[in-house]
Amino acid sequence: MIWKRKTRDMTEDGGAPGSGVPGSGFDAFETDVGSPLPTESELDAGEAARLSGRSAADWPMAALEPGPILPRFIASASDEIEGDLSSELARRRLLLRDALGASQPVTARETFAGRRDAMSTLIKAVEEQRVHVVVYGERGIGKTSLAHVFAETAREARYHVIYASCGTAANFGDMFRSVLARIPRIYHASVLPNSPEGEKAGSLEPMLPEGPYGARELAEVLAGLVGTRVLVILDEYDRVVDSNFRREVAELIKNLSDRAARVQLVITGVALNLDELIGYAPSIRRNIAGLPMSPLAPAEVRELLRMGERAAEIRYDKDSVALITRMAGGSPYLVRLLGHQAGLNALGNRRDDVNYSDTRTAVEKVIADWQASLPRRIQANLVREEARTHWPLLVAAARAGSTADGWFTVDDVVTELGGNATPIGVERDLKLFVNVIDLLERREGHGDPQFRFSYPGVSALLTMAAAMARQEA
Ligand SMILES: Nc1ncnc2c1ncn2[C@@H]1O[C@H](COP(=O)(O)OP(=O)(O)O)[C@@H](O)[C@H]1O
Ligand SMILES: [Mg+2]
């Protein structure tokens, strides 16, 4: 996932001058969605070096010392700012990083912006409707953060919450063995309070059959829960590859619901809709509430930026807020990335006010870094003649695919192109990027064929670059 890997990739694969890859992503992507890209020779490959080589801004205190010195850490690993570099500026940079750094999900309410509707829907589904919930939406939209903050809130209401992140290797038996190992045995009806068994620490795990077991046996144990309610959060459910896992979870939902067990599942994952995540399972539909995660509203973007403002004692001016809101397209991840970088630019210039120029520079840097983080093959494909010729099509495809799982149809692209294109022509052009130039992949479903960008970061890069181009125009 490019967003999460970004920082590492950036250092491994920085778009070096002379690599034939445009240096500044934004400049490379031209001034209007309708215009083709400039030729490779027009691209300023040195720009990336300039943009990423802000050593003075990155290490403002170091820059003041005489002679060339290597950069140092600002703070010790225990978060104490080192004595001789202990400056107001360094402190604020760190505070800004803590407030707006984008590499981790939010885990506490104080740093969680907006999302009141989603939170309220989630709580009502769990508390009033007593159903299982499926939270779905695109990468970086804030599913894991919502899950963590919801867990904190539920724990305050004395729910026993177990958070589990699913990996590609997730296996039903192992996963739920470890879940049961985290539920104290005293919550089982078979254990009398004050009995020696109840006094003893222990979990529900030994109550499972030894060896393989299924949803039915698991529900049997869980149906015995008393004195608490258990919430099991299964995060990143889309990553599970084992179809048996999904079948068993659907079966578990059915069994738990039939037995009115005091256990509810909260499943989160990248998907366009419920069926895609949990499979087509009409028998459990009435036991599930779906919660689609929508893009952040402008007021929520403002709220998030305000956290950076408070922490680092800076202020984003109106134009900066507008630009960040526009470029981020409701992604909290992008709001943080842009807000953080723009704030650093202002602090680097020893200003408290973050102005349009700080933010614009931040956008350029984010786009350039983003582009440099793509595999070279993809970067090279993006500057090929065919990509330049079909630039509006690619941007329209990126917009069409900007929801949840990234799949889109020919019709979606036609709609984005605003009626200037025919479905036949669009399909032919899309196929070019599947078959000849490896930028898209294609799948046949029950309905129309679907396409998506074969590398996840590409569509966000294209939409950002196009939005910036429009902005400049
Ligand atoms: N409500 C929010 N307030 C502040 N930051 C958020 C919020 N939601 C998400 N983020 C930030 O956005 C990024 C992506 O969030 P994450 O929860 O990991 O998304 P997902 O699980 O959907 O991929 C993280 O850096 C996280 O800190
Ligand atoms: Mg997540």
Nearest CA to ligand 1 atom 13: 333
Please say whether the beta carbons of 177 and 208 come within 8 A.
yes
- Alpha carbon 215 to its chain's center: 30
Q: Which of 116, 60, 98, 59 is nearest to 308 (CA)?
A: 98
Residue 39 has pLDDT above 50, yes or no: no
Cα–Cα dist 48/41, whole Å: 15
User: For residues 324 and 468, is the Cβ–Cβ distance under 8 A?
Assistant: no
In the chain, what percentage of residues exceed pLDDT 70? 80
Q: How far is the CA of 226 from the centre of ligand 1 (A)?
A: 34
CA distance 385 to 23: 17
Average pLDDT for 38-51: 36
User: C-alpha dihedral over 370, 375, 381, 387, to 10 degrees?
Assistant: -30
Strand partners, 269: 136
Q: Are 320 and 303 in contact (CB under 8 A)?
A: no
Q: How far is the CA of 409 from the centre of ligand 2 (A)?
A: 26
d(C-alpha 20, C-alpha 44), whole Å: 10
> Which ligand does the CA of 142 lie closest to?
1
The answer to whether residues 125 and 291 touch, using CB atoms and an 8 Å cutoff, is yes
Q: Is the pLDDT of residue 439 over 70?
A: yes
Tell me, using a 6 A CB cutoff, whether residue 144 lines ligand 1. yes
Contact between 139 and 105 (Cβ < 8 Å): no
Res. 356: pLDDT tops 60: yes
- Which range among 149-153, 159-163, 276-280 shows the weakest confidence by mean pLDDT? 276-280
Does 145 sit in the ligand 1 pocket, CB within 6 Å?
yes
pTM: 0.78
> Domain 115-292: which CATH class?
alpha beta
In CATH, what is the architecture of 376-454? Answer: Orthogonal Bundle (1.10)
pLDDT at 81 (0 to 100):
57
DSSP label at 184? B
pLDDT of residue 100: 95
Q: What's residue 200's pLDDT?
A: 61
Q: Are 355 and 346 in contact (CB under 8 A)?
A: yes
How many Å is the maximal CA-CA distance in the chain? Answer: 81
Inter-residue contact 288 to 212 (CB < 8 Å) = no
Give the E-state strand segments of 97-213 in sequence order: 132-136, 160-165
How far does the centroid of ligand 1 lie from the alpha carbon of residue 113, in Å?
A: 9
Ligand 1 atom closest to residue 104's alpha carbon, by position in its atom list: 25
φ/ψ (deg, to 5) at 342: -65, -40
**Ligand 1 centroid to residue 361 C-alpha, Å:** 23
Name which residue sits closest to atom 24 of ligand 1, judged by CA.
105
Q: Which is higher by pLDDT, 400 or 275?
A: 400
Ligand nearest to the CA of 140: 1
Mean pLDDT in residue range 331-337: 94
How many whole angstroms separate alpha carbon 135 and alpha carbon 118?
A: 9
Q: Given pLDDT bands bounded at 50, 70 and 90, which one contains residue 168?
A: confident
* Per-residue tokens: 347: 């602090």
**Domain span(s) for CATH 1.10.10.10 in the chain:** 376-454
Instruction: Specify the range with the lowest mean pLDDT, choosing from 142-146, 208-212, 384-388, 404-408.
Output: 404-408
- In the chain, which residues fall in CATH 3.40.50.300? 115-292
pLDDT score at 436: 86
